Structure 1
Amino acid sequence: MSQSFKILFHLKKGKGTNENVQPIYVRLTVDGKRVEWSVQRSCEESKWNKLTGRMAGSKEEAKKLNAYLDAIQASIYDVQREHAQRKERVTAEQVRTTIIYGSEEKAHTLLEVYQYHNEQFEKLVGIEYSFRTLQKFRTCLRTVREFLRFKYHREDIPLSMLNHKFLTDYEFYLKTEWQLHHNSAMVCLKKLKKIIRLCIANDWLDKDPFRSFKITSKETHRNFLLKDELERLISEPLTSEKLRRVRDVFVFSCYTGLSYTDVSELTPNDISIGIDGIQGVFTKRAKTDTSSRIPLLPIAYDIIQKYATDPQVVNTGLLLPKMSNQKLNHYLKEISVICGFNKKLTFHCARPDIVWTTADNKKIGVEITEAVISQLEFQKNSFKDEITDCVLEKLRDQLPFNFDITVKPYLDRKISQCQKNNSIGQIVKILLAEAINLKDNEILNLYDFGSDIDIYPPDIKRMILLYGYRNLPDGIKSIKIGRWDSAGESWNPKLGAIWVPDLTLDTLSEIIKKKETKLEKYAVCDEYWLVIWESGGRNSYYKNISAFDPPNTKFQKVFLARTFANVVVVLK
């Protein structure tokens, strides 16, 4: 396997270089194709020997420079020799990349990976993600690019430069140069954290700079309209058609509880009559992907009817006028001035002003919460899924069939990152040895014995192993794996619904205590109701319910909406 291989060191004159002192480049030609790169050294043209490709003379300066060039040449030949030993052909670009970056794979840079992520993300818009989320990632990429120019005077940096100081400097830059509030700056850092996790998952980055950096959020206080202010807003004569349209959309949100994103995407098909004969809005929340069925109150219905024949709205196929969130908030500020409100009015202010107006004109303030799993349980389930996902990824290409797998750790034991990595590697070895002979639709269950099995007599040890008990890795309670040839891919069967602690008077009192602090946003209402919506973000639901007639609460009525049973339980 012969290849032509030629190395040449030469001076290269550039636009910004000195007439006398010029940078040294190495030119490598392999099979007629050549590449060249700077060796980060320079030499006076009068002292350079073009025949030898070295600095002329015997002074110490010449000796050091020539020794450096000899070392580069030796490194180039080492790369050629390694490929020859493996009986592989080598290209000039492969040699160049190996010399510069230490391997044949080019070292990745921060903006390169960020841009790669955004390009992949863009292809999933409309499938898994929204265009607005893509816009947020693009904005955050722009902040990182400008930060690099501001702080490092560079267009990009290698991933190896990411550390704790980089994150703290980036946070400071966002707050000072971009004038972002704390929570807005944290949003940019969350986006950056996703990019860094992508780098770690692909082994492009060894250390996680976020390990010692905590992303925090500060509680915000949102403005809201009082009852008389909302009535004044509705009755205020506005001369501008744009302002009237903005007011209608805002008021519609007040009486439906829908966010800007949900309101802006409503179509006439989302309005229908339910089984109870009441006309309502049937849609899915964009943020949570949960179904919503909202009865249409008279004011909201009148607004829909107003735009049912509006040519500008009808041509868009939407239910209401649509404009950007920035424009809506800009016009809301104008409306706030016209109405004489001494507060900042934004579209976010619409949702806390929801009240239900009954037929006899009674105002009911309805506060809604979700039955969610406790934070401790959430962390435990997240840790279990994290370990299972890691094992799944390592086994996916090693087992010759599709499977589902669940790895359960001991929830009462703390496992360090190092222990977790070691346990994952041991689990993979165990399953490669024991699950390789599984048949279709067969399931293997392994349980931690809790002590050393080898200390028992052979007959007892045989029985222990027969029942699936093993010396499992540190912190692992059980492993379950099943073979499914009909499955499209291997997966982690995460629970779609999980029990939460029983709904007792004590747990209900905690919920009520927290939600009562939000009653002030309803201004003056005749009654206050609390609705606990079962099946939240983790699809949680209560196993047993014993919380009825909670005492000493400002809520006149308390309900539990059970989505799985499709019933509403009256707790008070």
Structure 2
Amino acid sequence: MTTKEEKYILDQFKTCYKSFPEGEIQKTEKPDFIIQTAKNRIGIELTEIFQDSHNGHSKYQQRSSDRSKFTEKLILELQKFVDFTFHISIHFSDFHHLKKAEEKQLIKKAFKASVNHLIQLKNKQGVLIEDFRKLPEEIDSIRMGRYDGLEESYDEKPDGGIVSDMTNAHIEPIIMKKEKKLKNYQECDEYWLLIKEGNYYAGTFSDIKVEYPISTSFCRIFLFRINKSEIIELK
């Protein structure tokens, strides 16, 4: 996560968690944040959970990240040719995955397939591009909509599919991984672990079926379902 993303997650958590401690918040590295209250010093470590987190490196997360970066770069290229804001939804192929070495070529091809359609849009109009002769094989379709009221153009991130329930098998590897790093954190009176459930397919779960208690050296562990503004206290 970038510093900007971390700050956003903590701000959202602070808004949702009514018992969030009052004090000065400092951005640090180990842990991610430190809250200096009138009585103690609380270290907060942030992390994310994905449907395949229990497998170690998340392929779902990597694929979603690659697709998101690709779309953002395409938005930047398209924005140079229009003076209005728009939203874009790219449905990527399940059979032909993006390759970093070919990214520039693919963006160029997607740009050529969509720019003329975008230029012709009027406010609140949309267009669906499904011409396989013009689109790269890594993209099944591109949907765009013009909306002049937006602050900036954005990616709708249409990843989707069947999502699983979250169990201890997902949670425990994340906690164990963070446990090993505790000894390198700045000294605090308490350490909290804030686990964010994602806001796109790779990090979304159907139901939470985590069994208690969870053995950990963290004083508090929170699961933050950011899309639902819901906080589950795991410890």
- Equivalent residues of 1:444, 1:480 under 8 A apart: yes
Q: What SS does structure 2 have at the residue aligned with 1:479?
A: strand
Query: How big is the shift at 1:510?
Result: 1.3
| Alpha-carbon spacing, 1:562–1:296, altered in 2? closer, same or farther (3 Å) | farther
Q: Does 1:569 align with 2:206?
A: no
Which has the larger strand fraction?
2
Secondary structure in 2 aligned to 1:280?
A: coil
How many angstroms apart in 1 are the aligned matches of 2:115 and 2:225?
Answer: 41
CA offsets 1:108-135 (integer angstroms, 9 cap, x no match): xxxxxxxxxxxxxxxxxxxxx9xxxxxx
CA contact (8 A) 1:371 1:541 kept: no
What residue is the counterpart of 1:482 in the other structure? Answer: 145
| From 54, 62, 75, the counterpart of 1:379 | 62
- Contact 1:419–1:474 (CA under 8 A) maintained in structure 2: no
Q: Is the 8 A contact 1:405 1:482 kept in 2?
A: yes
Q: Please list, as runs of the form range in 1=range in 2, the aligned pairs for 1:395-434 lying within 5 A after superposition.
A: 395-399=78-82, 401-410=84-93, 412-416=95-99, 419-434=102-117
Cα deviation code 1:473-499 (max 9, x no counterpart): 22113212111234455x23366xx99
Pick one of 259, 272, 296 that aligns with 2:38.
296
Aligned twin of 1:347: none
Looking at both structures, which has the greater relative contact order when contacts are Cα pairs under 8 Å and sequence separation is at least 6?
A: 2
Q: Deviations over 1:191-216 (max 9, x none)?
A: xxxxxxxxxxxxxxxxxxxxxxxxxx
Aligned pairs for 1:274-353 within 5 A: 280-283=22-25, 285=27, 295-297=37-39, 300=40
Q: TM-score, normalised by structure 1?
A: 0.29
Aligned length: 203
Q: Give the Cα separation in 2 of the matches to 1:472 and 1:393.
A: 18
> Normalising by structure 2, what TM-score?
0.59
Q: C-alpha displacement at 1:545, in angstroms? A: 0.9
2:210 aligned residue:
547
| SS at structure 1 position matched to 2:23 | strand
- Cα distance in 1 for residues equivalent to 2:21 and 2:113: 59
In 2, the alpha carbon distance for the partners of 1:530 and 1:283 equals 14
Between Structure 1 and Structure 2, the one with more helix by share is 1
Aligned residue identity for 1:379 = Q
The CA RMSD measured in Å over matched residues stands at 4.7
How many angstroms does 1:291 deviate by?
A: 8.5
Larger radius of gyration: 1
State, as a whole percentage, how many aligned pairs show the same letter. 20
Match of 2:177 in 1: 514
Match of residue 446 from structure 1: 129
- In 2 relative to 1, CA 501–376 (structure 1 residues): closer, same or farther, beyond 3 Å? farther
5+ residue gaps, structure 2, are: 4-16
Between the aligned partners of 2:210 and 2:140, the Cα distance in structure 1 is 34
AA partner of residue 115 (structure 2): L
Q: Which amino acid aligns with 1:533?
A: I
Q: 1:487 to 1:536 in 2, by over 3 A?
A: closer
Question: What residue identity is the alignment partner of 1:420?
Answer: E
Provide the rounded CA distance (Å) in 2 between the counterparts of 1:541 and 1:420.
27
